[in-house]
A and B are shown apart, each in its own frame.
Chain A
Amino acid sequence: GAVVSQHPSWVICKSGTSVKIECRSLDFQATTMFWYRQFPKQSLMLMATSNEGSKATYEQGVEKDKFLINHASLTLSTLTVTSAHPEDSSFYICSVQKGGPHNEQFFGPGTRLTVL
């Protein structure tokens, strides 16, 4: 498997502020990481694919200026929710994939964001 951490595990912020979520691959170098969002009692929706050293690839309907992704190293990807609003409250989960697109993804523990 793979060990993935996320920080923080939960965060509460005021509307209009920005929040940064970190995703770390602890036991291997990940050129690709994925960011998902999960609303309560719903499925995971892929937001973007984070590529080390290049721009992230966003899924249709995801605002790239609102959800800034930086994959500055092979072990760290960050997701910044800019000017957060209550509708951005969700469970944000990252994942890593070892060895290529045919392999399973291993997920971080998730970050619960609540915007007041």
Chain B
Amino acid sequence: AQKVTQAQTEISVVEKEDVTLDCVYETRDTTYYLFWYKQPPSGELVFLIRRNSFDEQNEISGRYSWNFQKSTSSFNFTITASQVVDSAVYFCALGLSNTGKLIFGQGTTLQVKP
């Protein structure tokens, strides 16, 4: 079965704190893709990152970083020095290599308080 689990439903932090959003996936495919999207209150999903199953190298983009570990089937997302503008729902998704379909996790609502 293909599945994505984001166990944290809601997280609340104070501005400047670091926060990690967890994502665990399940698939039997050897080739797959992992994504993170941000959905601000406006509703439009914003693409953040794509990772393929053969690339476990961690990535950093400004205050954002991602940790991909195949051994634990996890693709966690860390925001360093969080800001109020980071408040949004964050979705982790598993992409199927043959069809391009995305399977989304339930999402984590992040609230950053000033």
Interface residues of A (CB under 8 A from B): 1, 32, 34, 42-46, 49, 91, 93, 95, 97, 100-110, 112
Which residue of B42, B96, B104 has the most chain A CB atoms within 10 A of its CB atom?
B104
- Give the secondary structure class of A's interface: strand
The distance in angstroms between the C-alpha atoms of A92 and B77, with both chains bound, is: 26
Instruction: Enumerate chain A residues within 8 angstroms of B42, measured Cβ to Cβ.
Output: 109
Write the residues of chain B forming the contact surface with A, with a CB cutoff of 8 angstroms. Answer: 33, 35, 37, 42-45, 47, 50, 52, 91, 95-107
Q: Quick check: A34 and B45 within 8 Å, CB to CB?
A: no
Instruction: Tell me the complex Cα distance, A32–B99, Å.
Output: 10
Given contacts A42-B106, A43-B107, contact A109 B44 (CB under 8 A): yes
Question: Is there contact, CB below 8 Å, between B99 and A101?
Answer: yes
Instruction: State the CA gap A43–B9 with chains docked (Å).
Output: 11
Instruction: Write 29 A-B pairs (CB below 8 A) sorted by A numbering.
Output: A1-B47, A34-B101, A34-B102, A42-B107, A43-B91, A43-B104, A43-B105, A43-B107, A44-B104, A45-B104, A91-B43, A93-B43, A93-B45, A95-B45, A97-B100, A101-B95, A101-B99, A101-B101, A102-B33, A102-B95, A102-B97, A104-B95, A105-B100, A106-B47, A107-B37, A107-B45, A109-B42, A109-B44, A112-B43
